[in-house]
Each structure stands twice: as C-alpha cells, then as structure tokens.
Amino acid sequence: MSSEKKEAGGLSTTNALNDSPFMRACRREPVPYTPVWLMRQAGRYMREYREVRARTSFLELCKTPELAAEVTVYAAGKLNVDAAIIFADILLIIEPMGLDLEFARGEGPVIHNPVRGGHDVERLREVEDVGALDYVYEAIRQTRRALPSGLPLIGFCGAPFTLASYIVEGGASKNYVHTKRMMYDDAGAWHAMMSLISRALSRYLNAQIAAGAQAVQLFDSWVGCLSPDDYREYVLPHTRSVIENVTTGTPVIHFGTGTAALLELMREAGGDVIGLDWRVRLDEAWRRLGDVAVMGNFDPIALFASPDHIRRQAQKILTQAGGRPGHIFNLGHGIIPDTPVENVIALVEAVHELSARQVSST
Amino acid sequence: MSSEKKEAGGLSTTNALNDSPFMRACRREPVPYTPVWLMRQAGRYMREYREVRARTSFLELCKTPELAAEVTVYAAGKLNVDAAIIFADILLIIEPMGLDLEFARGEGPVIHNPVRGGHDVERLREVEDVGALDYVYEAIRQTRRALPSGLPLIGFCGAPFTLASYIVEGGASKNYVHTKRMMYDDAGAWHAMMSLISRALSRYLNAQIAAGAQAVQLFDSWVGCLSPDDYREYVLPHTRSVIENVTTGTPVIHFGTGTAALLELMREAGGDVIGLDWRVRLDEAWRRLGDVAVMGNFDPIALFASPDHIRRQAQKILTQAGGRPGHIFNLGHGIIPDTPVENVIALVEAVHELSARQVSST
C-alpha cells in the first residue's frame, strides 16, 4: 500500500493527468468509474460564486486570472468532479476582432456593432495574435498550478456558428433572422466571416493548450436551430477547420444542443468526444456515431427533482452507456441558476458510485 | 368543357371538400399538385390583420366570431393556400378549466393561477361541456359558409404537454423547470392533470368538427424540450387518448417542433399526418415514420431570404418528398412577425408551380 502510494507520487504530473479517468475516457480506454464533470459547474447556482460576483462584474471576473482560477478550482473541489473547466466566456474572443462587447446586468451579452453583411465583415480584424486574451492563459496557468496534479483542466471556445450568431444578431436570439438571412443571401460574406472566426479559434485553443489545458471543448450551443443541409453547407467546413488545427494529441470535445438530426454531421466535422444533449437517447446516439467517445446527457432541469429521481436518471444513462469505454458523464447543457447545489453534488456521487459498481460487476 | 364545369358545380360541397388536394393528401392519395398552407397564416406579418388588431385585443378577436372568421378567410384567399385554419388560440380551452388567462400587451400569455402540484390539480374543473367555447364553433360555422366550397377548414388545439407547460409555468418558458419538476416528483398529479386536459381536448376537437372543420391539428409546439424516455412515460399516453377519441373519419395532424428524436413516438401516439419542423430532412423523417402522411418543413426564417432562395428551398423539399402521395407542404413552425408578406405569397406560388411540374413529369 505504501509502496503503491510512493509510486503514484513518483509519477510525473503529466502521467497522472494522462492516466486520469477523464483523459482515458477521451481516448476510449477502460476506467475504474465513469468520469463526470458538469457544464457551467462554476456558476450562479453556487453561493461562493455569487459572493465573488457580488464584488466583480462578469467581464472583470473573466479578465482577472486570480479570480477566474479561484472559482474554477473551488467548483471542481466542492463537487468532486473529474475535470475542471477554465472559467471564461465564449464571447471573449470577439473583442480582439473589433467587436464591442458588453454584459448588461441581467440582460446577457450585447454587441454594439453587430455584423450584418459584407461591408461589416471587412471591418472585422484578423486575430493574428491571440495575445489580447493573455488573461485567459494566465488563468489557465494559475488554475493548473492550484489543481490536484491528476485533475485535468479543459479549455474551450464557442464553435464558429454559435459565435457568428452572436456577432450577427448582436446578442442572444430566438429566431436567428439576421444570421440566417446573411447565410442565405450573402454566402460570400458569411463564409469569409466564418473563416476569420475559425482561424482565430484554432489559435485561441492552441494558446490555451500551451498554457496548460489538457483537453478543449467547442460549444456549438445554438447550432440546433439549423437544418442538416444548412449545417453541412454553412457550418461544417468551418468547424472542421477549427478542430483540424488543434494541437495534435489534445482531445477535442465537440458539443451542441438540439442536435438530434445533426450528430453524424458533427462527427464528420470532427472531435474525439461528441457532446450529446438529453433530447436523444445516449445509446441510440452512440450507435449512430460509431467509434468516438461521447459526453452527456443528463437533463440539467432534472437537477431540480428529488435526489431519488436524480439517482434513477443517472443509472438510466449509465445503463445506456453499458460500460462501453469512452463515456464521460455530463449534463446535456449548462447548470442553470437556482439549481440546488446539494442535488448537483448528489448527482456526482451517484455517477461515481453507480458506475464503479457497474465496472466491478462486469 | 362546359359539361365538366356543370358536373363539378353539381358535386355536393362535401364531395368537393373530400376531393380537395389537402384532404386527398391527408389520405395519401395522388394529387395534381402539392397542397400548401402555412402555420399562423393569419397573423401579425399581414397588414390587414394588424388593422383588425389595432381595434381589438387578441382575446377579443378570438372571441368575436365575425372577426375570427374574417381574418381566417382573408388570409386563405390572399395567400391562395389549399386549406384555411380557424383563427383561435391554443390556450382558450384552459379558461373553462378555471385558469385565469390574460394576454398582456407584447408579453405573451400569462396565467395568474398556475398549477404547481396535486392540490392545484384538484381545483381544475373537468370540462364536461365545451359550450364555453361556443364562440370558436360559431367562428367555424361562419368561416365554413364564407370559404370557397372546395377549401377545407382545419380546427385545432394545443397538445396535452404544450398546454400543461403553460398551465404549470404560468406562461411561456425557457427551461420548463416547474413542469419537469412536477412530472418527475409528483407523477400522480401530473397524470391526473394530463388526463383532465386530454378529455377536454377530445371534446373540444369533436365540437369543432361538428361545427364544420374538415381536419384537426394538435400543436405540440414545446414537446421538443423532452427526452424520448420522458415523452414516452409522461406524454404519449395522453396525446394518444386525445387522438383516439377524435370523430372517426376526420384526419388528425400531429405537429411538434424540435422532435427529431421523437418522431417514432409521435407516430405511436397517433395522427394521420405527422408535422415536421425544418431541423430534420423530410426524406429521412418520412422514411423513419413509414406509412403515414407528413406535413412540412420549410424553415419559417428562410421567408426572410430572397425569393430566389425561397424557390430553391421549396424545390429541395419537394424533391425530398419525391412525389410520394401524402405530403402537405407547410412551414416547420408558424410565420413570425415582420416576415415579408410578398415572400410568403412567393412561397405558395413556387410550391404550386414546382409540384405541378413534378407531377406532370412523372
């Protein structure tokens, strides 16, 4: 026992990280229990996060590495999850493109100079040097130093379509009228904008990896508003180019919501792990996807139900995963404010316990 | 030629309706061109509708048969569509259940006494007599008299889940927290409420049919927030019971959005026609559904694009339908405000012209 401990302690941090359940699952290797982390695990549902936010605006928090690292590390420890994800926002990258971003209190993001056509695309700045986002890399370095040596840290970005939808709409949207009109009627400008965004994203992800992230995730949160044909024509080549240009050897998680009819196309665009939302059955989705890891897919709203229901629901998902190597447990989308924190903790415990039992019984 | 005209004029109205392209498509019989109508075809995007609304509140309009008939008939004629749909709102039925409904200006519906658990379900009134909605039946009678004799009129209701989500949330919702919590933690109350709603809906649809509707549609607009397993357990039996109890011989259209992973289950719940949104390919969806008619599935936001794009997109959908009998052309969801009315007309013309050409070339 003591020699084992010594041996483990003697492993380099790199090896401890590489051998973690999360990294093993990304590579579809067997794990002693199903690794779990939760999108938006550091967020408003958590009292300690709200205390930090009471003193700081959202953008200030993102841009202050000490604070971003603090909330990242705190949430991972409090929940006992198997990966941390750097606290940041998908829209930070649009500032160096020349877009004027503001988070109005309680209103979500506002972009004061949205892009509506070719003329606007011309004024977008190529993000040659992603140094403008040094605060993100510094937060990653500080987080990496503060995290337990075997706990992987995930970097991330918005996927090209989701970012484009904010850039064109000027904020969140219900119907994506401006975005789709530009796609359909000004395809040249659309593709030019998507290419510029995609080049910036690859550089941004690689800088996060260089700073210490073990894996990266693309969030295509709003891509589910598209038809499969539109996805193929207007989105897939760009997402693929981002993923192809990520530093070799770093697992890429490719996540979207409302993607029940897009899964094969997302797979074609790339990623070592495909993120699923709860609106598909995990077993059927994984069968359609074939040889790739999957992440998901607990309904975040089920976290408002009783711990009994949460446990049964976690078991259902683990049963659908069937012990097949390559499952990372997660929600189907981020934790929403007002979610009871004790239920989140109960979910993580249930996943660990039930999946370890599943492994030992097979 | 003149004898043919005479013969057609001699057909009873019933036969003219039964032989209309829309009714033939519901029964999967061959048609000379693909029938088309558009969800929310009488609505705010249309100047003449806004003029009526300038003088009347939304609820007053619904409750004044002359006006409801006027906007219904006007829109069908202006667009030259192949079916009219009675102007009404899916929430009207909840008033006789004892729910206090208001349409706040620009805010959407508000229910001042939402249902949150078993105690609230007990105070819901069984809608034994759907006479409280006489104004809807009177609007149907007046519309039927005013419509061309061969133009079918569609009656409709909200599907049980979509209605329940409004009743429980107290209005529109983003995350359906209260609805899902009630489903998960108080399944007895949930099923009691869904049963009560379903009984009211069957009676309501049958009264619309008795008043003169040739077909009926269930709108399950928000069902796409559910996982397939939740749909099967908490929704399917209730939707099935509504559909099973519709007067025999009247086609039922079963429509939802975000249903890419729910189509087989919706089919199981019933309906002669399954409504598809644009987030699935029509050909793949129809293959999965098998021997049933389908309706759809033009992205309503593509109506903001150029007439050229609209025409190409209409052709794509007709090509996917492949001339297989049983396709009713429609949008994947309702027309939204600010949609250019000339583009809506261009879509209807394109569907008629392109589908007639497809028929004559095969």
Confidence of residue B8 (pLDDT cuts 50, 70, 90): very low
Unique residue bearing structure tokens 């309906």: B271
Contact A301 B175 (CB under 8 A): yes
What's chain B's average pLDDT? 95
Residue B280, chain A, CB below 8 Å: the answer is yes
Task: Please list the residues that pair with B109 across neighbouring strands.
Answer: B103
Q: What is the pLDDT of residues B235-260, one digit of tens each?
A: 999 999 999 999 999 999 999 999 99
Contacts with A244 (C-beta within 8 Å, 6 or more apart), sequence order:
A270
Residue A273 contacts residue A294 (beta carbons within 8 Å):
yes
Q: For the residues A244-268, what does the mean pLDDT come to?
A: 97
CB contact under 8 A, A258 and B258: yes
| CATH number for the domain whose boundaries are B14-360 | 3.20.20.210
Extract the tokens encoding A242.
């981002």
B175 in contact with A, Cβ within 8 Å: yes
Residue B34 has pLDDT above 50, yes or no: yes
Q: Report the alpha-carbon distance of residue B254 to residue B273 in Å, rounded.
A: 6
Q: What pLDDT score was predicted for residue B36?
A: 98
Count each helix (H run) and each strand (E run) in chain A, helices first. 17, 9
ipTM surpassing 0.85, yes or no? yes
Phi, psi of B167 (to 5 degrees): -65, -40
A49 is catalytic: no
CA B317 to chain centre: 20
Residue B11 predicted with pLDDT over 90:
no
Looking at residue A15, what DSSP letter applies?
H
pLDDT of B123 over the 80 cut: yes
CB contact (8 A) between residue B261 and residue A280: yes
DSSP A298-317: E-GGGGGS-HHHHHHHHHHH
With a cut of 50, say whether residue B317 has pLDDT above it: yes
Task: Identify the pLDDT of residue A56.
Answer: 95
Q: What percent of chain A has pLDDT over 70?
A: 97
Mean pLDDT value across residues A152-159: 98
Residue B3 has pLDDT above 80, yes or no: no
Please state which architecture CATH assigns to domain A19-360.
Answer: Alpha-Beta Barrel (3.20)
Instruction: Provide mean pLDDT across the span A61-81.
Output: 98
- Residue B154: which of B85, B226, B230, B53 has the closest Cα? B85
Query: Cβ contacts (< 8 Å) between B284 and chain A: which residues?
Result: 261
Is the pLDDT at A6 greater than 50? The verdict is no
pLDDT digits (tens, 9 = 90+) for B274-311: 999 999 999 999 999 999 999 999 999 999 999 999 99
Chain A residues whose beta carbon lies within 8 Å of the beta carbon of residue B260: 260-261, 279
**Per-residue pLDDT, B351:** 98
Question: CA dist B97 to A246, B139, B162, B193, B198, Å?
Answer: 57, 21, 16, 11, 12
Output the CA angle A307-A309-A313, nearest 5 degrees: 115
Helix/strand/coil percentages in chain B, nearest 5: 55, 10, 35
Catalytically annotated residue among A53, A181, A267, A279:
A53
- Residue B279 or B7, more confident: B279
A125 is catalytic: no
List residues bridging with B298 in a β-sheet: B331
What is the identity of the amino acid at A270?
Answer: G
What confidence tens digit (pLDDT) does each residue in B187-235 have?
A: 999 999 999 999 999 999 999 999 999 999 999 999 999 999 999 999 9
User: Catalytic: B53?
Assistant: yes
Partner B contacted by A329 (CB < 8 A):
no
Cβ pairs A/B, distance under 8 A = 92
| Phi, psi of A68, deg, nearest 5 | -60, -45
d(CA A27, CA A215): 11
- Which helix (H) or strand (E) is A101 found in, with range? strand A101-104
Structure token digits, residue A21? 């359940």
pLDDT band at A361 (very low <50, low <70, confident <90, very high): confident
pTM of the full predicted structure?
A: 0.95
Percent of chain B with pLDDT over 70: 97
Q: Does the beta carbon of A24 lie under 8 angstroms from any beta carbon of chain B? A: no
Report the pLDDT value the prediction gives residue A1, as an integer from 0 to 100.
35
Q: Does A316 touch chain B (CB under 8 A)?
A: yes
Q: Where along chain B do its domains lie?
A: 14-360
Lowest mean pLDDT, pick from A218-232, B45-59, B98-112, B300-314 = B98-112
Residue A184 a catalytic site member? no
Max CA separation in chain B (angstroms): 68
Q: What is the mean pLDDT of residues A4-17?
A: 60
Q: Determine how many CB atoms are found less than 10 A away from the CB of residue B287.
A: 9
Predicted local confidence at residue A130, as pLDDT: 80
The minimal CB distance from A176 to the residues B228, B230, B301 is found for: B301
Indicate the burial class of A249 (C-beta count within 10 angstroms; 0-12, 13-18, 19 or more).
exposed
Q: What is the pLDDT of residues B142-166, one digit of tens each?
A: 999 999 999 999 999 999 999 999 9
Look at residue B9 and tell me whether its pLDDT is greater than 70: no
pLDDT at position B175: 96
B279 touches chain A (CB under 8 A): yes
- Kindly state the average pLDDT of the residues A12-27: 93
- Average pLDDT of chain A to the nearest whole number: 95
Residue A355 region by backbone torsions, left for phi larger than 0, else alpha for psi between -120 and 50, else beta: alpha
Cα separation, A43 vs A40, whole angstroms: 6
Strands B108-111, B273-275: pairing is unpaired
DSSP-derived letter for residue B335 is P
3-state DSSP of B287-301: HHHCCCEEEEEECHH
